[in-house]
């Protein structure tokens, strides 16, 4: 089931995104790639992937250190409603 990211995930991935975007933009400028939409999209996608990976690494480390958090009461109620309705949801 979908879970929200931790606050550390959000903070660190935001910082990684900003640093990666700055560094990639600077590197592409040194390589002589002209400014434009394609370069901007390339910078965004590459920085996004790095930030996503950093956030996933933060959540993985958090789960390894503290263990997986138990489901909240809201999640348990949603699971019960889905079970009672007869719907079958895909597993992760």
Q: Is residue 27 in some structural domain?
A: yes
In a domain, 2, yes or no: no
User: Tell me: the pLDDT tens digits for 49-66?
Assistant: 999 999 999 988 988 888
Higher per-residue pLDDT: 50 or 86: 50
Whether the Cβ atoms of residue 25 and residue 43 lie closer than 8 Å to each other: yes
Predicted TM-score (pTM) of this structure: 0.71
Whether 66 maps to a domain, the answer reads yes
Question: 32 versus 82: which is more confidently predicted?
Answer: 32
Taking residues 83-87, report their average pLDDT: 79
- pLDDT confidence of residue 65: 87
79 pLDDT higher than 90: no
Between CA 6 and CA 59 the distance in angstroms is 7
Domain extent, residue 32, equals: 7-85
Q: Tell me, what's the pLDDT at 84?
A: 84
Tell me how many domains the chain contains: 1
11 in a structural domain: yes
């Amino acid at each position: 089931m979908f879970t929200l990211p931790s606050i550390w995930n959000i903070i660190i991935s935001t910082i990684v995104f900003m640093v990666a975007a700055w560094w990639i933009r600077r590197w592409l400028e040194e390589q002589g790639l002209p400014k434009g939409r394609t370069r901007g999209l390339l910078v965004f996608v590459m920085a996004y992937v790095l930030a996503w990976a950093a956030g996933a690494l933060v959540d993985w480390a958090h789960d390894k250190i503290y263990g997986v958090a138990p489901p909240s009461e809201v999640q348990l109620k949603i699971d019960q409603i889905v079970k009672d309705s007869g719907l079958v949801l895909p597993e992760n």
